[in-house]
Every structure is written in structure tokens, then in C-alpha cells.
Amino acid sequence: MALDGVVVATSNPGKLREVRAILADLEARLLALDAFAPLRFPEEGDDYEQNAAAKARTCAQATGCLSLADDSGLEVEALGGRPGVRSARYGGPDLDDAARVARLLEELSGVAAEKRAARFVCVAALAHPDGRVVTARGSCEGRILGAPRGSAGFGYDPVFLAAGTGLSMAELPESEKNRLSHRARAFRALRGRIDAALTG
Ligand code: ITT
């Protein structure tokens, strides 16, 4: 089934909302996956680029539409970069966002504020129905707080102090997160390719 628009291949409603805001002035409708029959995505591996490309390509081939996806994660220096590409799977499949945050704080208990450096990473992918894929990466520096703050956003936002703001990602106004986030940077870097795909 082909529709007129670009499909955002994510099952995470927080991501969908952000991608729509970041690409608000795009010359195409951004369609949610639920406009289509349920899709099965491949198991995720340990490489952001490959995971993002696989999600976008699977969606583009199944829907016949240009498709966007992202694979993202939180890299904590004191944990050697974990949970990183496995951020959605951190602590096992049964945890929700709040439980993953609690587990992260527990793992970091006793680690001093200046040793809690972290970064969010996002790889955005654009796939054509013929299988071609391009990707772009963005990141955002910060630090893990001692306790959650704020209620906006999703995932690890309440414990991520965004560098230079004095606020957690969940305390920032949405427009501000969508200006400085890893996701904003990745999709802005991909923007020229998306525009070209829509006109070409
Ligand atoms: P899709 O694969 O369906 O897009 P997902 O949530 O499983 O959704 P990922 O595999 O890319 O997506 O996992 C990324 C995880 O990293 C996500 O579940 C959050 O826990 C975390 N994360 C990514 N971006 C984030 C952000 O902007 N704020 C807070 N946490 C974020």
C-alpha cells in the first residue's frame, strides 16, 4: 500500500512527536506506522547505523513509501559507554522507562557529579522503497543527575542534564529539546537528502 507521504518507522510515540516537530516544515506529510498493517522489524544489533537503516528499509519496502527511522541511545562515560545502542533493552525486556532510569541511577550511585558525563546519540536513516538508505548521526552532551527532574520528553530525559542549559531534558520546553537534541542534529543533517528524495 503506497500513501502520499513519508512514513516514520518507530513504535516510540515520543520519537514520532519529536521527528514531526523537527521536520515540521517538510514538503510532505509525516505518516505514523499505525496507518499501515503491522510491520515486523528485524531484531536489533549492536550498531546504530545498521539498526536505523534496517528499520527504515523494512518500512520502505513494506509500505512503498519513503521512510525515516532512528536508532538512538544514551552513552554514560562511567559505564564505559553503556547502555549505548542497547538503551531500549537496558535491564531486560520487562522494564519501562521509569524502571530503566531507576536502574541507571542505582548503577551510578556513589559516582560523583563530575564523573557522570554522558551523551545522547541518534542515527537517523532515510530509505527508498527500492532499498537505498542514507544515514546521518547527531549527538548531545550532558551529565546524569542524581534524581529525576521534569516530566516532558521520554526515556532517560528526566536524568539527563543538557550541557549549557542547567535543565534536564525533561525540564526543557519541547521546542528547546528539539533545537539541541541528538535527534534534532541527526535529522537536520539528513534534511538535504530528504528534500532531494521528495523532489527527485
Ligand atoms: P523504535 O525502535 O520503535 O524507534 P525504541 O524506543 O525501541 O523505538 P531505540 O531502539 O532507538 O528506540 O532505543 C532508544 C532508547 O534510547 C529509547 O528507548 C530511550 O530509552 C533512549 N533514548 C533515545 N532517545 C532519547 C531521548 O531523546 N530522550 C530520552 N531517552 C532517549
154 lines ligand 1 (CB under 6 A): yes
Backbone angles phi, psi at 8, to 5 degrees: -100, 110
Rounded-to-integer distance, Cα 145 and Cα 108, Å: 10
Kindly give the number of the ligand 1 atom that is closest to the alpha carbon of 71: 11
139 lines ligand 1 (CB under 6 A): no
User: By the 8 A CB rule, do 123 and 48 touch?
Assistant: yes
pLDDT for res 36: 87
Low-confidence ranges of the chain (pLDDT < 50): 1-3
Range of 185's domain? 5-199
Residue 73 CA to ligand 1 centre (angstroms):
6
38 to 1, 9, 93, 131, 171: CA distances (angstroms): 12, 11, 20, 20, 34
Secondary structure of residue 74 in the 3-state scheme = strand
The pLDDT tens digits for 154-163 are: 999 999 999 9
pLDDT for res 186: 98
Question: Residue 24 sits in a domain of what CATH number?
Answer: 3.90.950.10
pLDDT for res 4: 67
156 lines ligand 1 (CB under 6 A): yes
pLDDT for res 2: 41
Q: Which residues pair with 73 in a beta bridge?
A: 121
- Best substitution site from 87, 104, 144 to test ligand 1's pocket, by max atoms within 8 Å of Cβ? 87
Q: Which of 71, 96, 97, 157 is catalytic?
A: 71
pLDDT for res 43: 80
Active site residue 46: no
Give the chain's domain count.
Answer: 1
